[in-house]
Amino acid sequence: MKRFWLLFSQTVTVLVAAYFVVATLQPDWLRRGATRSGAGVALIEAPSTPAAPPAPGSFAAAARKAAPAVVSINTSKAAVRHPRSNDPWFQFFFGDQGTQQAQTGLGSGVIISPDGYILTNNHVVEGADEIEVTLTDSRRTRATVIGTDPDTDLAILKVQLDKLPVIVLGNSDQLAVGDHVLAIGNPFGVGQTVTSGIVSALGRSQLGINTFENFIQTDAAINPGNSGGALVDVNGNLMGINTAIYSRSGGSMGIGFAIPVSTAKLVLDGIVKDGQVTRGWIGVEPNELSPELAQTFGVKASEGVIITGVLQDGPAARAGMRPGDVIVQVQDKPTASVSALLTAVASLKPGTPATFQLQRGDSRVELEVVPGTRPRPQRAPQPQR
C-alpha cells in the first residue's frame, strides 16, 4: 500500500510539473480549439459543428466573449514642413506656410492570436508613423505593422504583451442572410461600443471599395472608428472585419460592409509566411459581357466574362487565349462577373496549371493556363508638402 501511494504521488507531481511548464511556455496549447495556421500562427477556431444559438432576448454572453479581444487603434503622422518654407520668394508669394499639424487617426482592431497578431484595415494604419493599441483592460502599447494588403484593405499588426484576450474565429462560409450579428468597435472615439443587426446580404462586390470584394453586408450600426473592428455571431465568434459603410451623411445608414474571416485568414497566412499575399494572375483585360461586345467579337454566349485584351507573352497568351474569348468557368467554378473572375484567378496557385472553360465563337474550348504571380499595385508618388 505504501509503495502504491508513493507511485501515485510521484505520478501526480510529474503531471502537475508538466502542466505548469506547458502553461508557461505554450499557453495556447491549453486553450480550447487552439490550432496553428499554415504560417504557424496560433489561432483559436470554433468547432466545425455550429453551437446552439443562445436563448432569445440578449446577446450579453456573445459581447462578453468577444469584446475583450477588440482593441482601439490610434495612429499619428509626424508634422511636415513645406520643403520651400524657408525660401524668401516662396514666403513673399505664399506667406509663411510653417509646419503642418501632425495628423491623427482612429480605428479598431481584433486580437486573433496569443502571439500578439491583430487584424485591422489597411486604411486605418496606412502612412502612420506611430500606432498605439489600447486594450479593454486599459493597457496601452505600440504596435508594429507586419504587413498590409491594399487589395483587400487588410493589415496585420503585432504587439508584445502577455495574457492577451483572443477572439475565437468562426466560419464565415456558414453565415446566412437573416443571421443575427454584432459589430464591436470604437466609433467616433467614444469608447468600445456594441451594436446589433442581421446579415443583410452576402458576397457583395462591384462596390469600388477594394480590388477583391466579397463583403458581408449588415445593418448593425457601423460608424467612423469602427473600421477594423469585429463582426461576430451570436456565439461571439469572429465572422468578419468591419471595413466600410454606405453613407450620405458620414454616419450609419444601415448599410455596412465587413470582410469575411475566411479572407482574413488567407491574408494573415500570406503576410506572416511570405511578407505579402501571393495571388494568381493570367494577364488579360476582362469586361462584363454585353450584347454589343458579343456582337462585336462574334461570340455566341449569354453568360461569362469577355476578354477584350490579352497581354503579349502573358500566361493567358501562352495558353492560347484570344481577345473575344468568353471565360465561362475557372476550375469548374462559374465566372458570371468580372469580380468573380478576379477572385477565381487570384485564388489560383502560381505555377500550377488551371483549367479554363471558354466560349469562342459558337464552340466551347478548354485551355490549361499556368498562372503567374499577380504584380503588386504601383502606387502613385505622393505630392510633396
State the catalytic residues: 123, 153, 227
Report helix, strand or coil for 80: coil
C-alpha cell at 123: 486604411
Name the strand (E) or helix (H) holding 13: helix 2-25
How many CA atoms does the CB half-sphere of 337 hold within 13 Å?
10
Cα 378 to the center of its chain, rounded Å: 20
DSSP assignment of 97-120 equals --BPPPEEEEEEEEE--TT-EEEE
Q: What radius of gyration, in Å, describes the C-alpha atoms of the chain?
A: 25
- The continuous run of DSSP H or E covering 89 comes out as helix 88-94
Q: Environment class of residue 103 by beta-carbon count within 10 Å: exposed (0-12), middle (13-18) or buried (19+)?
A: middle
The enclosing H or E element of 354 equals: strand 354-360
Beta carbons of 173 and 141 less than 8 angstroms apart: no
CA distance 347 to 341: 10
Q: Which residue is associated with the grid cell 504584380? A: 375
Q: How many CB atoms lie within 10 A of CB 40?
A: 10
Q: Are 185 and 242 in contact (CB under 8 A)?
A: yes
Burial letters 252-266, b for 16+ CB under 10 A, else e: beebbbbbbbebbbb
**Residue type at position 371:** P
Question: Residue 345: in which H helix or E strand, if any?
Answer: helix 338-346
Strand 117-121 with 154-158, pairing: antiparallel
| Residue 235 φ/ψ, nearest 5 degrees | -100, 5
State the Cα–Cα distance between residues 289 and 336, nearest whole angstrom.
Answer: 9
